[in-house]
Structure 1
Amino acid sequence: MMLIGVIADDFTGASDIANTLAKGVAPEGGLRTAQFPGIPTAAVSPEIEAGVISLKSRSAPVKEAVSESLDALKWLLDQGCQQIIFKYCSTFDSTPAGNIGPVADALADALNVSGVVVCPAFPGTGRTIYQGHLFVGDVLLNESGMQNHPLTPMTDPDIRRCLGRQTHHDVAHVALATVAQGGAPLRSAFEQETSRYVVADAVSDADLLRLGEALSSAKLITGGSGIALGLPRNMIRAGAKGAASGVLTNVTGPEAILAGSCSGATRGQVDQHALDHPTLAIDVEAVMRGEMGEETLVAFYDAHMGQAPLAYSSGTPDAVRAVQQKFGREAVAARLDRLFAETARQLVQKGYQRIVVAGGETSGAVAQAIAETLGAPAMVVGAEIDPGVPVLTLGNDTPVALALKSGNFGAPDFFVKALRAMEGQV
């Protein structure tokens, strides 16, 4: 029976938390976890103990994001979930109008809960919260490059203020000193809280494990994937079977890499990959004028099969702003999503079996297109490539291996590492 249900606001975040739940911590390990591209229409296999629904609600209109999240909640509750996690990015990507606050409000109302933890911390990738402020490495969020995000620029590192602009409910804070006590003092801090939300400090995995233990009976939890670190242990100690994680895949078919993220990390990874692999820079203006389409990308991949070819639309913040101002932000995003989705669909139809994707919106478009093409909605979580990014597989006879990478995640050589992991070379 499914015990933990996750509503993720994008596909890379869904992979991230699915990896966390499947891996767990020693000695207990993780839960048998499946990731779903969108809300399933049928009941889940009884062997699945944690289910992650991948939505594209991070940048959707608020009403749409709320409606989809409530539909996902209903399906998860119907599967027997005892605990719901609303998973958003570890950089709290949202605008003053939403979507984190409105979705959290709707879920909390539906579950009739208060004292809901808010913790996007993920120390393994450098995201920490101290005194309610979100850090990326050793700098505040608004100095990390996220202030230049093309869709959700983050200009305030105070999570209390960020969330406070998105909800009419009170936002409280549990400081690191309380979190460090763990046990009864920390549990009591949440149980006695009358505010709707509580931002919790966390600067290490040990803090996340303390939070996980204190939240063992919480009906609703919100945060980045790190907040799920200790939750499988709670369930296994309570009788869940659990399962070994990190199962290696063995997919060796043709490969393609698609990068739609404009983050500094992804741009660096593209530059590193281009040193000894074929790359294609997508001319976004040409795409918007109808002069460049999926046939160009597919021809590029076919011409360089076996060489780890990479096509990318990643650009500098100034270049991205210029294109958005000329054609409109939403129009550019939608057209690139269609380009990457249709390219992926055609590649899978031609027999490509290893697909690496960078960027949340790009990953969502690609994963949905591939799932629809294969008719295989459940994605099996495999070995971890880099922190927060597992190998996912779809299909049975000729499986397709996917890696869905958030823009800021991964080592400089991530793309090559991902393709090797798909072949079982982790």
Structure 2
Amino acid sequence: MATTQRPLTLGVVADDFTGATDVASMLVRAGMRTVLVIGVPAEPPPQADAVVVALKSRTIAPAEAVAQSLAAWDWLRAAGARQCYFKYCSTFDSTPQGNIGPVTQALLARTGGDFTIACPAFPENGRTIYRGHLFVGDQLLSESGMRHHPLTPMTDANLVRVLQAQTQLRVGLLGHEATGAGAEAVRERMAALRAEGVAVAVADAVRNEDLLALAEACADLPLVTAGSGLALGLPAAYATRGWLQPDAAAGDTGAVGGLAAVLSGSCSAATNAQVQRWLDDRRPAWRIDPLAAAGEEAIADAALDWAGPRLADGPVLVYATASPDEVRRVQQALGVQQAGERVERILAHTARRLHDAGVRRFVVAGGESSGAVTAALGVGQLRIGVTIAPGVPWCRAADRPLALALKSGNFGTVDFFARALELQA
């Protein structure tokens, strides 16, 4: 793996696996040599411009999410990271208890800061913020498919209100009057908010240019919190300060050949459409039934029995993706948490069996599913490669020829699965 002797500039704490690859993809795209590690390793961070720590903290108890996030930042800070970036989903997935607010509050204290921003906007993927309200495409967050999310239903699009319910810090608005007027206007508005006692400001952003202005104005803050969109502007801001020399070849990881499979556990509207396109194209697919009487390993064995004869002819899809009504039926039978964990374990067992059968290219849909699959395959560190779609790169295991595309449930066009595999043919 190519390394650099330059000091670590950015340390990212990501609250799930697909969010980690999402932000890493943005950094690589802007020329930062970026490595992703899964969990907090015992050894020192690898040499890179940016290191992203992928946690699985989005939906766990707030106190545990705080503990894991602080441990990740302490590890990154020990390696010399200049700035901490807390990465969460572009749909601000959380509950009234957290975890975005509690983690932000803890990291702000740990980094010694007194002010930060909250900005999940990512206009390229249709996530925009105006007057503090988050839009998914043309819909308010509360009117989008996220209102049906099984673990973090988002029923309020007002992020100032959502975040204020989660933290003791005072939350305010950094409106488009500032973000749309450039970095100096953002700095002036941040100073005014600080003077008013605001510690976290939800930042409007409706264009990439707004994110670039925010990045330039916020590059000197000890902590920023955002989706992946803000990462587009940070490398340039670091370069102007002499902290970074962008590398046009930052995403060159080389191709991985071999058999391929798609594993889908997400039940988002976007992933449902992607699975349906695969089926409409008459590609081979096998559906996991979480209510099947068989044990989880037996279900995985059945998936491999089905997939084995077909792999040589091309990629296969194994999926638990289902409609909101089907998800509710399974959750009523098994319990919300138990249903999700059962699907994750089935996909993990299936991934191991497919790998043993020679699969070396995996497309995985869903943050929890991605975490389960990477753990099952024993992947501890990933090099970030070519972007498939905004926020979704191909990644390569640092220790072997194994390629992974870890997709957030909400991301990608309807033909994402096929397009991803074409890039790693």
TM range, normalised to the smaller chain?
over 0.9
2:417 counterpart (412, 415, 418):
415
What's the CA shift for 1:80? Answer: 0.6
Query: Which one-letter code corresponds to 2:10 in the other structure?
Result: I
State whether residues 296 and 345 of structure 2, in contact with CA within 8 Å, keep that contact through their aligned partners in structure 1.
no
Give the match's secondary structure for 1:222.
strand
Give the match's secondary structure for 1:150.
coil
Mark the runs of 5 or more structure 2 residues left unpaired by the alignment: 1-6
Could you tell me the TM-score, scaled by structure 1's length? Answer: 0.93
Give 2:349's aligned residue: 342
Spell out, residue by residue over 1:198-241, the C-alpha distance to the aligned partner (whole angstroms, 9 max, x if none).
Answer: 00100000000000000120110001000111101122233323
**Residue 224 in structure 1 maps to residue 227 in structure 2:** yes
Task: Describe how 1:8-407 pairs up with structure 2 within 5 A.
Answer: 8-24=14-30, 30-46=31-47, 48-192=48-192, 193=194, 194-239=197-242, 240-244=244-248, 245-247=250-252, 249-274=254-279, 275-286=281-292, 292-305=298-311, 306-370=313-377, 372=378, 377-396=380-399, 398-407=400-409
What's the CA shift for 1:292? Answer: 4.9
What's the CA shift for 1:137? Answer: 0.5
Using the alignment, how far apart are the partners of 1:59 and 1:42 within structure 2? 27
Spell out, residue by residue over 1:260-292, the C-alpha distance to the aligned partner (whole angstroms, 9 max, x if none).
Answer: 010111111101111221011111101676595
State whether residues 251 and 354 of structure 1, in contact with CA within 8 Å, keep that contact through their aligned partners in structure 2.
yes
Give the match's secondary structure for 1:285.
coil
State whether residues 308 and 357 of structure 2, in contact with CA within 8 Å, keep that contact through their aligned partners in structure 1.
no
Using the alignment, how far apart are the partners of 2:298 and 2:325 within structure 1? 22
What's the CA shift for 1:22? Answer: 0.8
Using the alignment, how far apart are the partners of 1:70 and 1:408 within structure 2? 27
Using the alignment, how far apart are the partners of 2:124 and 2:117 within structure 1? 20
State whether residues 253 and 383 of structure 2, in contact with CA within 8 Å, keep that contact through their aligned partners in structure 1.
no
Query: Which one-letter code corresponds to 1:36 in the other structure?
Result: V
State whether residues 147 and 155 of structure 2, in contact with CA within 8 Å, keep that contact through their aligned partners in structure 1.
yes
Give the match's secondary structure for 2:188.
helix
What's the CA shift for 1:346? Answer: 2.7
Give the match's secondary structure for 1:113.
coil
State whether residues 90 and 127 of structure 2, in contact with CA within 8 Å, keep that contact through their aligned partners in structure 1.
yes
What's the CA shift for 1:342? Answer: 2.0
Using the alignment, how far apart are the partners of 1:121 and 1:285 within structure 2? 37
Spell out, residue by residue over 1:110-136, the C-alpha distance to the aligned partner (whole angstroms, 9 max, x if none).
Answer: 122222100000000000000000000
State whether residues 283 and 292 of structure 1, in contact with CA within 8 Å, keep that contact through their aligned partners in structure 2.
no
Classify 1:32/1:326 alpha carbon distance in 2 versus 1 (closer, same or farther; 3 Å). Answer: same
State whether residues 278 and 415 of structure 2, in contact with CA within 8 Å, keep that contact through their aligned partners in structure 1.
yes
Give the match's secondary structure for 1:181.
coil
- Give the RMSD, CA atoms, in angstroms: 1.5
Give the match's secondary structure for 1:173.
strand
State whether residues 287 and 293 of structure 1, in contact with CA within 8 Å, keep that contact through their aligned partners in structure 2.
no
Classify 1:290/1:14 alpha carbon distance in 2 versus 1 (closer, same or farther; 3 Å). Answer: closer
Using the alignment, how far apart are the partners of 1:418 and 1:15 within structure 2? 14
Classify 1:230/1:116 alpha carbon distance in 2 versus 1 (closer, same or farther; 3 Å). Answer: same
Using the alignment, how far apart are the partners of 1:158 and 1:126 within structure 2? 17
Aligned length: 412
Classify 1:202/1:255 alpha carbon distance in 2 versus 1 (closer, same or farther; 3 Å). Answer: same
What's the CA shift for 1:347? Answer: 2.3
Using the alignment, how far apart are the partners of 1:66 and 1:279 within structure 2? 39
Using the alignment, how far apart are the partners of 2:118 and 2:364 within structure 1? 28
Mark the runs of 5 or more structure 1 residues left unpaired by the alignment: 25-29
Spell out, residue by residue over 1:159-189, the C-alpha distance to the aligned partner (whole angstroms, 9 max, x if none).
Answer: 0111111112210101101112223221122
Spell out, residue by residue over 1:88-116, the C-alpha distance to the aligned partner (whole angstroms, 9 max, x if none).
Answer: 00000011111111111111111222221
Classify 1:297/1:330 alpha carbon distance in 2 versus 1 (closer, same or farther; 3 Å). Answer: same
Using the alignment, how far apart are the partners of 1:321 and 1:160 within structure 2? 30
Query: Which one-letter code corresponds to 1:421 in the other structure?
Result: L
Give the stretch that moved more between structures: 218-227 or 338-347. 338-347
Give the stretch that moved more between structures: 79-88 or 184-193. 184-193
Using the alignment, how far apart are the partners of 2:227 and 2:380 within structure 1? 23
Using the alignment, how far apart are the partners of 1:64 and 1:10 within structure 2? 14
Query: Which one-letter code corresponds to 1:179 in the other structure?
Result: T
Using the alignment, how far apart are the partners of 2:253 and 2:11 within structure 1? 24
Give the stretch that moved more between structures: 54-63 or 283-292. 283-292
Could you tell me the TM-score, scaled by structure 2's length? Answer: 0.94
State whether residues 249 and 421 of structure 1, in contact with CA within 8 Å, keep that contact through their aligned partners in structure 2.
no
Query: Which one-letter code corresponds to 1:412 in the other structure?
Result: V
What's the CA shift for 1:190? Answer: 1.8
Query: Which one-letter code corresponds to 1:168 in the other structure?
Result: Q
Give the match's secondary structure for 1:343.
helix
What's the CA shift for 1:243? Answer: 1.8
State whether residues 90 and 127 of structure 1, in contact with CA within 8 Å, keep that contact through their aligned partners in structure 2.
yes
What's the CA shift for 1:301? Answer: 2.3
Give the match's secondary structure for 1:257.
strand
